Chains A and B, each alone.
Chain A
Amino acid sequence: MGRKLLLDKAHIENIRYYSTYRANGGYAAAEKVLKSMSPEQVVEEVKKSGLRGRGGAGFPTGMKWSFLAKPEGVPRYLVCNADESEPGTFKDRYLMEFLPHLLIEGLLISSFALGSNHTYIYIRGEYAWIPDILEQAIAEAKQNGWLGKNIQGTGFDLEIYVQRGAGAYICGEETALIESLEGKRGNPRIKPPFPAVKGLWQSPTVVNNVETLAAVVPIINIGGEEYAKYGIGKSTGTKLISACGNINKPGVYEIEMNISVEEFLYSDEYCGGIANGKRLKACIPGGSSVPILPANLLLKTAKGESRMMTYESLNDGGFASGSMMGSGGFIVLDEDQCVVRHTLSLARFYHHESCGQCSPCREGTGWMKRVLHNIENGKGKMSDIDLLWDIQRKIEGNTICPLGDAAAWPVAAAIRHFRDEFEWHVLNPEECVKRNYGLAHYADPLPLATAAV
C-alpha cells in the first residue's frame, strides 16, 4: 500500500465540512505556520521539499515562489489555477469536491508565504457545482477565524475569492488566466514580463495548480526534508493520477513517485489492468498534451529499463522514445482503439480551444484536424502524413503560449510511433472505416539499442 499525503483522509465521511476536517488534524499546518514560522521559512521548507508544479510543466514550486518580485507598496497576488480542462485530467476536481478545506489551508499557508492578501481561485466554468463547495468552505474557514482580518491574532489578512471561468481551455494558461480574471478576453500575454513581475493588475503574481497548493499542507505538517524522502530523485512526494480509458478501475489515485508504470497499470491497488481481458496498445501518461507511447515503450524505456511513474523516467528518451508526466491524466488505449481516430479527436479539441491570437496555432490546428479527418475517413494520401509532420513542426515552438506545442506534440508522437497505422489507413481506405488496425506489433518487445561504437 503506497503512502498517501493528500488523500489519506479523503475517505472520512463529512471531511468536506470544517468540523470534521479540523477534528482530523486539519488546519494544524496553518496553525504551525502562523504561530511559529516566518514567510521565508515557509518558502525555504517548500524549496527543501523539492515540490514540483503539478499543473503540467513540473517547475520547482519553491523556486517559482522565490522569483516573485517584492517591490514596496505594490500588492502581491496568489492565484490558484483550478481551470483543469486537459482531456484526461480530473484530479483537481476530486480534491476540491472532497477536500475543499485542504485547498483553503494550502492557500492560506501559501498566501502567508508570498504575502498575498487577496487570493483568487480561478475555477473552470464547467465545474459549475464546485464553486458552491468552495464558497461554503471559505465561509466556514472565515467563521472559525482562518480567513478575513487579523487571522488568529497574527495581523495577517487574507480574503479568498472564487472566480468562475467561462469554459475556455486556454484560460488554464497562466497569463490567459490572469487576463480572464481581470475581466478581459482570455488571450495569453506575451512573456516577458512574467507574472512573477507583472501579473494580475500589473502586480507580482504567482499562479499555482490546485494540487501544488494542497501539497503545501503535508509539506508543512511533516517538514520539507521528510517530504523529499517520498519518491525518487527529483520527483519528490506524491502525485495524483487521473487514470481513465480501457482499464478496470478508472479513477483518481494518489501514488508515491516510486512505483513503475507497469505496477500502476496492472496492480489491483491502482488501475487493475486492461478491461475485458484486452491487451494494452498505447497510453498517454500525462494528459492529452503529452506524447502518446506504444505499449512497448510505455513499460520499458528505450534502454530496456523499467519505466517509473516519475517526472524523469517518463521523460526518458525525450521526444524520440519518451513522454511526460504532465498533469497526470493517464489515458489508456487497448488493442481495439484506433490511434488515428484518437489523434483526430485531440486535434479537434485543440482546434476548438485555440484562442486565435497567433497565426501558427490559429491556422495550423484547423489544418491538422482536417487532414487527420481525411485520413481517418479513408480519404487520405500518403503525402498527408508528411504534411501533418511538417505542419506540427511549424507550429511547435513558434507560438505565444504552450497551446501550440500541446497541439503539435500528440500529432508528432502519433506519427512517430504509429506511422504504420496511418499508412494502413491510407492504403486501405475502405477497410479503415470498418475495422481497426488492431494491436499490430506495438506491444512487441523492442530490440535493445546497441551502444554506438
Chain B
Amino acid sequence: MAEEKKLFKVKIDNISVEVEPGTTILNAARQIGGDIVPPAMCYYSKLQGSGGKCRTCLVKVTKGSEADPRPMPKLVASCRTTVMDGMEVANITSPEVQEARKGVVEFLLLNHPLDCPICDQAGECHLQDLGYEHGADGTRYEFKRRTFDQIDIGENIKLHMTRCILCYRCVYTADQLTQRREHGVLGRGEHAEIGTYIQKALDNDFIGNVIDVCPVGALTDRTFRFKNRVWFLKPVDAHRHCDKCCGKTVLWMRGDEIFRVTARKDKYGEVEEFICDTCRFHTKDVKDWTIEGPRKIDRHSVISQGHYVGTVKPKETITDVLEGRQPRLLMDIHSVSEVNRPGIELSKIDGPAHSDDFKKDA
C-alpha cells in the first residue's frame, strides 16, 4: 500500500520547498541550503529532544499555514517548530530576526572567555563562526565574566566550563548513546554548569562523542589538547574494523602522525555516525587504519585555508584590465635613484652597507 505522502509546501525567505509533514523549519531550510539556513548552536539532528535552547535559530513565521494564515506572534525557534502546509517564514529577509539574532549572539558571548588563541576548538568552533557572521565588534558588558575551574572528567575528556554555552547536547548524547549518564546540568540561571556533582570520571565506550557534539571548546580531547592547531592538520577519511562502532572516522594528521581522531562531520557540524572511544582515543597508529582519501571540509572554515582541497590558482588580472596588452615597464627606479648607484656592486661591500658607501663623491 504505497500511498503517496502529501508534502507540505513551505516558503522560506521567498524560496519554496516541499517537505514531509513533521519536518522542522530548520530542516526544511537545510533542504534548500545556502545563506537562508538559520544557525543552530544547540540543535543536533542526531540527538532526540535537542534544540530550542540557544535561540540563535529564531525565525519569523509571517504566515502560519494555508488553513490559518495568521502570522505567529513571537519569533519561533526554527529547530523545534514543525512546518505547516503553506507556511511562510522569514529568516534573512526579516530585520527583526537579524536584530534578535544579534542580541542572542551578544548574550552567548557575554560570559564566554574569548580565549580562542589558547582554545583547542578554535578553527572549528561554532561560536566563532556565529560571532563572525552575526556578532558585534565589541561587547557592551562591563562586568566580570563568570569563571569555573577546569575539571578532568574521565581519562580522556577535559571540561572547561567557562567556555560552555549550555546547549545540553552532551547531556543528550550521554542519555542516548551510553548506558548511564553520569553528568548533567547543576545549578540554575547564570550559575548553571555541566558537572558530575561529585567529581566522577565519565567512563563509557561512547562518552567521547560529547567532544564532537560540543559546539565550543568546553569539552576537549585530552589526548589532543595543545598538540596542534586544527588548521595545521590534514583531515583524511579513514576506516577500520571496529566491533563497537561503525569505524568510519576522520584522522587529523601531520605527516605520518595521527594527532586526533574524530567522527565525520557534515557541513552543519553534525556527525554522520557516532564513534566509540577505542577508535577515538586509543587507535592512533596509521597501521590500524585504511585511509580513504582527503576529507572535504566544506564550511567556510579556516581548516580549508591551508588545505589542498579546492585551492584555486589566483587569476592573472593585469592583462584582462589592459585588454590583452602586457604591462610595460614605465621607469626603472635604479636609473634615476639618487641613493642607489649602479656603479657599486652591493655584494662587494665589506660588512653591512653604510650611507658612506653610496656617497656620490666617494
Contact = CB atoms under 8 A, between A and B. Distances in A.
B107 interface: yes
B14 to A, nearest CB: 24
B72 to A, nearest CB: 11
Contacts of A190: 51-52, 77, 80
B227 interface: no
A9 interface: no
Contacts of A353: 188-189
Given A362-B166, A363-B107, A394-B107, A356 B190 contact: yes
Interface residues of B, number: 33
Interface in B87-110: 99-100, 103-104, 106-108, 110
Contact of B190 (A363, A397, A399): A363
B104 A360 contact: yes
Interface stretch (B53-61, B271-279, B290-298, B306-314): B53-61
Interface in B124-171: 140-141, 143, 165-166, 168
Interface of A: 168, 170, 185, 190, 351-360, 362-367, 370, 387, 393-394, 397-400
Contacts of A362: 107, 166, 189-190, 192
B343 interface: no
B191 A360 contact: no
A354 B104 contact: no
Given A357-B192, A358-B54, A398-B103, 4 more contacts: A356-B185, A397-B74, A400-B53, A400-B77
B143 A370 contact: yes
B64 to A, nearest CB: 13
Nearest to A393: B103
B55 A398 contact: yes
A356 B107 contact: no
Nearest to A169: B188
Interface of chain B, helix or strand or loop or mixed? loop
B166 A367 contact: no
B351 interface: no
Given A190-B77, A363-B107, A367-B141, A398 B190 contact: no
A349 to B, nearest CB: 11
Interface centre among B74, B99, B107, B140 (most CB of A within 10 A): B107
Contacts of B187: 356
A363 B110 contact: yes
B111 interface: yes
23 contacts: A170-B188, A190-B77, A353-B189, A356-B166, A356-B185, A356-B188, A359-B54, A359-B166, A360-B55, A360-B104, A362-B192, A363-B107, A363-B108, A364-B107, A367-B141, A367-B143, A370-B143, A394-B99, A394-B103, A397-B74, A398-B74, A398-B104, A399-B55
B54 A356 contact: no
A390 to B, nearest CB: 8
A394 B100 contact: yes
B75 interface: yes
Contacts of A358: 52-55
Contacts of B80: 190
A365 B107 CA distance: 10
B361 to A, nearest CB: 65
A366 B189 contact: yes
A356 B51 CA distance: 14
Interface centre among A352, A357, A365 (most CB of B within 10 A): A357
B185 A360 contact: no
A47 to B, nearest CB: 22
